[in-house]
Amino acid sequence: MVRTPHGAVRGRYERGVAVFRGIPYAAPPFGPRRFRPPAPPEPWDGVRDAAAFGPTAPKPPYSDAFAHYLSDPEIPGDDCLNLNVWTPEPAPGARLPVLVFLHGGALTRGSSAIPVYDGRPFARDGVVFVSVNYRLGVEGYGLFPDAPANPGLRDQLAALRWVHESIAAFGGDPGRVTLCGQSAGAISVGALAAAPQAQGLFRRAILQSGAPEASDRAKVRRMVRRMAARLKVPATAEAFAAVDRDLLLRTQADVGRLSSPVLGGPAFGIVTDGDLVPYDPLEALLAGDAAPGADLLLGWTRDEYLLWLVPGGLLERVDRLGPVALAAARARCHCGIGVPRGYRGLYPQAGTAETVGQMVTDRLLRLPLQRLADARPGSSYVYEFAWPSRLPDLGACHALELGFVFDTGEVPEAAKLAGEGAPPDLATTMHRAWVRFAETGDPGWEPWDASHPVRVFGEDEPYTAHGPRDAALALWTADTQAADPVPEASADGQPTRGAELRAVVRRLRRTAMVRRH
């Protein structure tokens, strides 16, 4: 039994580790609290049982194509702002390092209850592990004129404050907190690292396959307006709160079906709000104004894009489309013709899908993460996960590294993405690097400097490569269009090449939707 500021909780010992699941860190975000910032939970009398995972945030299920590879359990209930703690020593005074994990899922799916995210291996190795549920989709990231922006990110901030106030009772050191996230969770970590209100709540940060960014407010608002048009209600929080929750989720899934990291499309995201996110998080971190002195562990997988293309059936179609697909990639990445030509020159054996996928991965992930490492040499560490899945066509795809980081390759849900026969030695090595980073700020290889060291975790023994992505990333630095949107119309109102390219992207998205059905 452990006492928190809101009441006592009773966990369970499981294979030598104390586990507390479903602890509320904020009140249920429904009724009058819907679309509002998180409120403290109501204190409780007696001892609250913490044996089972708490409710997950409302979310639509994955399509059948993605559910074949990704697990996403749904636990009903309104008390979805909860977290879980795994600890080797649930007693004040232990002062162990703490790792807080934010799950991915494009800010619309995922939860802390996914079996791959079991925190026992971290606790087994001396780290207090915390995983967090937060609001998703329109509930967490809808942009309305009558409600504050970013309630899902505010949930994460509330969870961090709970950790700062409560984790000592579980044996953790509130001064040695590492904030870790993958994909959308990593984007959230970047936003919190730059948020003035989160300063002092964590000491280190891990960003896996997600870079700090602020989404275009107009794009997020467009997602909400499209949902409102389908629902035939005003695009306000008050109107959305009156809609049946299941209908809201179905509408969100339908409107967001055309969204893809490769092709873009309407999507939810973290936006600047003049409060929690006053500036673009990446620019704030590059300027050195945010999270000064924080140790960073940053990285990506070799073939991120394959998880985005294979389940939707787009891989072969993109290869067949050839120049049309490259034109769509240019529109998605806002770049000139020199960028795809440069990729063709660097990787002459690559097909169109690989060229497009690596272009988008570099533009959205590797380029901003390497810029962040460049701005913080000596305290940044960079990795690449290159072990290929045993399943056809997936390669070293997005999210594949998670079973290795958590050392949970034995659970069936890990095999859905990795296949059978994932090497346990690689999991041991990678997991130990994350544990060591949480303990000391040093994962076990040289920090980032002018030679650009990248630790590669692949089929052979891990090794350090120097500047393995420099030639491709230099193409973006040289491209004058890469940083600026392609205009939709010229000064006289005539459509430009940018508008034509975006029309190609829209056709590809429609094709993807048909293929999914």
304 catalytic residue (yes or no): yes
183 catalytic residue (yes or no): yes
Q: Which residue has the tokens 């300063």?
A: 199
What are the two backbone dihedrals, phi and then psi, of residue 193, each rounded to the nearest 5 degrees?
Answer: -60, -30
DSSP 264: B
At 12, which helix (H) or strand (E)? strand 12-14
Q: Do 181 and 210 meet the contact criterion of CB atoms below 8 Å apart?
A: yes
Q: Choose, from 103, 398, 431, 452, the residue flagged as catalytic.
A: 398
Work out the end-to-end distance of the chain between its first and last CA atoms, rounded to an integer number of angstroms.
49
Tokens of 486: 């392609």
Q: Which region, left, alpha or beta, applies to residue 196 given φ > 0 means left and ψ of -120 to 50 means alpha?
A: alpha
Rounded to whole angstroms, how far apart are CA atoms 351 and 349?
Answer: 7
Strands across the sheet containing 47-49: 2-4, 7-10, 47-49
Q: Do 442 and 432 meet the contact criterion of CB atoms below 8 Å apart?
A: no
Please compute, for residue 311, the number of CA atoms within 13 A of its CA located in the half-sphere on the CB side. 19
188 catalytic residue (yes or no): no
Rounded to whole angstroms, how far apart are CA atoms 176 and 158?
Answer: 18
| Rg of the chain in Å (alpha carbons) | 22
Q: Do 117 and 131 meet the contact criterion of CB atoms below 8 Å apart?
A: yes
CB atoms within 10 A of CB 314: 26
Q: Do 297 and 205 meet the contact criterion of CB atoms below 8 Å apart?
A: yes
Q: Choose, from 71, 131, 183, 188, the residue flagged as catalytic.
A: 183
**Of 113, 105, 104, which is closest to residue 77 (Cα–Cα)?**
113
Enumerate residues 6+ apart whose C-beta is below 8 A from 394: 69, 303, 306, 307, 310, 388, 400, 417
CB atoms within 10 A of CB 22: 23
Q: Choose, from 139, 304, 384, 413, the residue flagged as catalytic.
A: 304
**Of 249, 348, 364, which is closest to residue 304 (Cα–Cα)?**
364
**Of 3, 92, 87, 13, which is closest to residue 44 (Cα–Cα)?**
3
List active site positions: 183, 304, 398
